[in-house]
Amino acid sequence: MGLSKTIWAHPSEFLAHHDPEHPVLFFAPQVLQATARRFLDGFPGLVTYAVKSNPEPVVIENLAAAGIRGFDVASPTEIRMIARLVPEAAMHYNNPVRSRAEIAVGVEHGVASWSVDSASELDKLIALVPAAGTEIAVRFKLPVAGAAYNFGAKFGATVELAAVLLRRVADAGFVPALTFHPGTQCTEPEAWLAYIGAAAGIARDAGVRIARLNVGGGFPSHRLQGMMPALEAIFALIDRATGEAFGADRPALVCEPGRGLVADAFTLAARVKAVRDGAHVFLNDGVYGALAELPLIGGIDRIEVMGPEGIRRGPVTPRIVFGPTCDSVDRLPGEVMLPEGIAEGDFVLVHGLGAYSTATNTRFNGFGELAVETVMRLHA
Ligand SMILES: *Cc1c(COP(=O)(O)O)cnc(C)c1O
């Protein structure tokens, strides 16, 4: 992935001057910093960034410049990168299953908080991590709907086990905390409500006053034209629910957004390779590339098409859209509404693609070359 040093006004300006054969992701640092400020101003606690959603160094640096001082990391590579780019930041190692060698890397780099969801992994942490001043957050799960993707399928203790683990964390001398991840692209604030109530119940059952409650990521980004993410409403609900559930034992709050922070700061330009026999559209990017997430969590309709005369306006029609590989699953979900005149050589601009795009892009079938270009803004 290459990063050019030139800053363009907007994607169309770059595309009019270049003829990129490979997909391009346009990054608007101003948009990222504005979103970061929205979280920092609005969230009633510590905002940490889930590095896995987009680990590009320019993203980390711009988040740090906007004032983000905490990072949710999941591997030694992420830990070393944050230690290098933002040495003063707090690292929260929130992958609840780690090898002993991975734990050693976290200890060496002063990880401030560790999550855990099982007795066997807690045994490892108690044996290998110095307790004094270090937080262990017990991760629990609930059967809750409302997210686009079920994170509880892999991680999270039941509420019963969580109470047992939380008691052990406190008895071992660690700073006790609870954490959950309600799913991703949670457009229903109620997902947080149920979890916050359950967290208070776990703390009561364990007889432990928790220092912090980490309410996870899952904050929505802007994927559908008419649906602006209601971040402030979610923040207000989390604040109120925590006060009501915990009363005098109210813990400090932490959140760890990935998508909600970074998605809207990037726009993808994929090129139309062919409109095969006037029907199906073939792009130079697809589900093995920057569009990997669409089949998992649903489409994005914030799409513009740029032809030789600029952005194509006028009537749209539904099209089947394929990616460039020879695999038949390399197709965007459903049908995509595209301007009637879409033609070979056009660029399809997909907005809101900053999360889970650069990081999960593959080189399958020899595709996947992806450039990142910096722009002042994402619309012409
Ligand atoms: C992936 C992940 C996040 C970020 O999720 P988003 O939906 O991108 O906000 C936060 N916390 C944990 C533990 C995760 O695994």
Quick: pLDDT tens for 227-268.
889 999 999 999 999 999 999 999 999 999 999 999 999 999
DSSP string, 74-131: -SHHHHHHHHHH-TTSEEEE--S---HHHHHHHHHTT--EEEE-SHHHHHHHHHHS--
Mean pLDDT value of segment 125-152: 83
Taking only the tens place, the pLDDT of each residue in 96-108 is 999 999 999 999 9
| Ligand 1 contacts CB of residue 141 (under 6 A) | no
Q: Which residue has the tokens 């809207």?
A: 264
C-alpha 91 – ligand 1 centre gap (Å)? 14
pLDDT of residue 357: 95
CA distance linking residue 233 with residue 231, whole number of Å: 5
- Asked if 260 contacts 238 with a C-beta cutoff of 8 angstroms, the reply is no
Cβ of 72 below 6 Å from ligand 1: yes
d(Cα 74, Cα 95) in Å, to the nearest integer?
A: 5
What pLDDT, in 10s, does the model give residues 153-202?
689 999 999 999 999 999 999 999 999 999 889 988 888 999 999 999 99
Residue 285 sits at φ, ψ, to 5 deg, of -145, 150
Confidence of residue 144 (pLDDT cuts 50, 70, 90): low
Reported as a single tens digit per residue, the pLDDT across 262-314 is 999 999 999 999 999 999 999 999 999 999 999 988 889 999 999 999 999 99
Rounded CA gap, 365 and 288, in Å?
A: 9
Question: Rounded CA gap, 234 and 253, in Å?
Answer: 13
Give the distance, in angstroms, between the CA of residue 241 and the centroid of all CA atoms in the same chain: 24
pLDDT in tens, 43-84: 999 999 999 999 999 999 999 999 999 999 999 999 999 999
pLDDT of residue 372: 95
The CB density around residue 211, as the number of other CB atoms within 10 Å, is 16
Distance 185 CA to ligand 1 centre (A): 10
Tell which one of 43, 72, 73, 178 to mutate to probe ligand 1, the residue whose CB is within 8 A of the most ligand atoms: 72
| Cβ of 218 below 6 Å from ligand 1 | yes
| Whole-angstrom distance, CA of residue 271 vs CA of residue 331 | 15
pLDDT of 3: 55
Q: Which domains can be identified in the chain, with CATH numbers?
A: 3-27+263-375 (2.40.37.10), 55-257 (3.20.20.10)
Q: What is the mean pLDDT of the chain?
A: 95
Ligand 1 neighbour 216 (Cβ under 6 A): yes
What number does the ligand 1 atom closest to the CA of 139 have? 13
Is 53 touching ligand 1 by the criterion CB < 6 Å?
A: yes
CA pair distance 289, 178, nearest whole angstrom: 35
Tell me the best of 63, 195, 215, 256 to mutate to test the pocket of ligand 1, counting ligand atoms within 8 Å of each CB and taking the most. 256
The span from the CA of 13 to the CA of 7, in Å, is 10
Using alpha carbons, list the distances in angstroms from residue 259 to 51, 103, 201, 236, 363.
10, 26, 29, 19, 23
- pLDDT score of 1 more than 90: no
Rounded to the nearest whole angstrom, what is the distance from the C-alpha of residue 167 to the centroid of ligand 1?
Answer: 25
Which tens digits make up the pLDDT trace of 2-56? 555 589 999 999 999 898 999 999 999 999 999 999 999 999 999 999 999 999 9
Q: Specify the residue for token string 């008691």.
A: 167
Predicted pLDDT of residue 329 = 94
Burial of 33 (0-12, 13-18, 19+ CB in 10 A): middle
Evaluate whether 114 touches 135 at the Cβ level (below 8 Å): yes
Selection from 56, 49, 45 nearest residue 73 by Cα: 49
